Amino acid sequence: MLSVASAGQAYERAGVPWPGGQITYFNGAADQAWAVAQAVNAWNRSGARVRFVRTTEAHAQLRIVPFRSGKCYAGADATTGYVRGATIRVSRYHPTVTECGPYTTAIALTHELGHVLGLGHEPRTCATMNASGSFRGPTRCPQTKPWEWHCRLLQEDDVRGAVALYGGSVRPIGRQRGCELYRAIASPAQARATVDAVARTVALTFGRPSSPRIPAFLLRGQRGMESFLYARGRDACPGAPRNPHERHGWQTAPGEVEQVVERLPAAGRYCYAVWAYDEYGRPSARASTAWLDAT
Ligand SMILES: [Zn+2]
């Protein structure tokens, strides 16, 4: 539901605010309890003078329930503002479908609670009240890296909207937008560069790291191969992996030593840097490096 905002404010008001500064709720979607808690905490800490308070089903002003189909169903919906029988409907949890996982659901529920508070969709600036988004963020917000979720659940615009309805003040919102969904693959182990003066080649050796545990929903349908990328810098180590298309598939198993051989470069001092990539295409946080004196 949309409404027109007056000049100077971005958030959209769409419903009647609740009286008393408190909204009691019951969560009937037990499989999404984590996401519900995240969304409730985000609003309760926002600085707006309104709180969601958990209670029994019989006493709740707001009921959070699964969609009647009982299936994983992308999205959630909610009633708007202060109404009798206020309801949020949410998807069933599903471990391999992004839209039904805990991260997207936490963002979706924060959005739906915004509707319950009386906020409409915000089409212009970065806000959790943007009409759409994904686990990487609402559509108008800077998106997180593909291996992070947008854990900053409320944006300043959302809270300004709630403060306009309920009073209070916008608490400072942390700079951190993204939270890692899993730990990055380790750097390749013990890189070494060895010259073969007769063949005029350099043998670069390094250990293949073990595979990280990547959440299943990230990999659906696009599972790649683990790989590595190496680069050479003169008098300095290459700082960041460039040209990821130049990645190589491993010839060895995790824990074993990989070797690549290249032509000996012109005389000088060189640094080789090697990054490991996981099957989702995420590089190790750091490179493993090895120096070479070519004469
Ligand atoms: Zn909406």
pLDDT digits (tens, 9 = 90+) for 249-277: 999 999 999 999 999 999 999 999 999 99
CA dist., res. 117 & res. 270, Å (int): 60
Cα-to-centroid distance, 132 and ligand 1 (Å)? 8
Distance from residue 221's CA to the centre of ligand 1 (Å): 28
Give distance in angstroms: CA of 274 to centre of ligand 1: 45
In this structure, are strands 86-90 and 288-294 parallel, antiparallel, or unpaired?
A: unpaired
Q: What is the pLDDT of residues 170-183, one digit of tens each?
A: 998 888 999 999 99
Listing from the earlier edge strand, what are the strands of the sheet with 248-249? Answer: 248-249, 227-234, 268-277, 288-294
Which tokens belong to 88?
A: 């949020």
pTM of the predicted structure, to 2 decimals: 0.86
Task: DSSP letter for 20, please.
Answer: G
Q: How far is the CA of 95 from the centre of ligand 1 (A)?
A: 24
Q: What's the confidence (pLDDT) of residue 6?
A: 38
Report CA(77)–ligand 1 centroid distance (Å). 7
- What's the CA gap between 41 and 65, in Å, rounded? 18
- The pLDDT, as a whole number, for residue 8 is 43
What is the whole-number distance in angstroms between the Cα of residue 72 and the centre of ligand 1?
18
Residue 129 CA to ligand 1 center (angstroms) comes to 6
Q: Using the mean position of ligand 1's atoms as its centre, give its distance from the Cα of residue 114 in Å.
A: 8
Query: Who wins on pLDDT, 76 or 35?
Result: 35
C-alpha 148 – ligand 1 centre gap (Å): 23
Note whether 150 and 107 are within 8 A (CB).
yes
Best CA proximity match to 14, nearest among 25, 3, 27: 3
Distance 207 CA to ligand 1 centre (A): 49
pLDDT in tens, 88-116: 999 999 888 888 899 999 999 999 999 99
Tokens of 53: 């308070």
CA angle, residues 30, 31, 33, in degrees to nearest 5: 60
179 C-alpha to center of ligand 1: Å?
A: 23
pLDDT at 5 over 80: no
For residue 116, list its beta bridge partners.
Answer: none
Residue 227 alpha carbon to ligand 1 centre in Å: 41
- C-alpha 134 – ligand 1 centre gap (Å): 13
Cα(183) to centroid(ligand 1), Å? 32
Between CA 207 and CA 134, with CA 213 as vertex, the angle to 5 degrees is 125
Bridge partners for 23 per DSSP:
52
Q: What is the pLDDT of residue 13?
A: 77
d(CA 120, CA 101): 24
- Cα of 63 from ligand 1 centre, angstroms: 17
For residue 53, the Cα-to-chain-centroid distance in whole angstroms is 27
Distance 15 CA to ligand 1 centre (A): 13
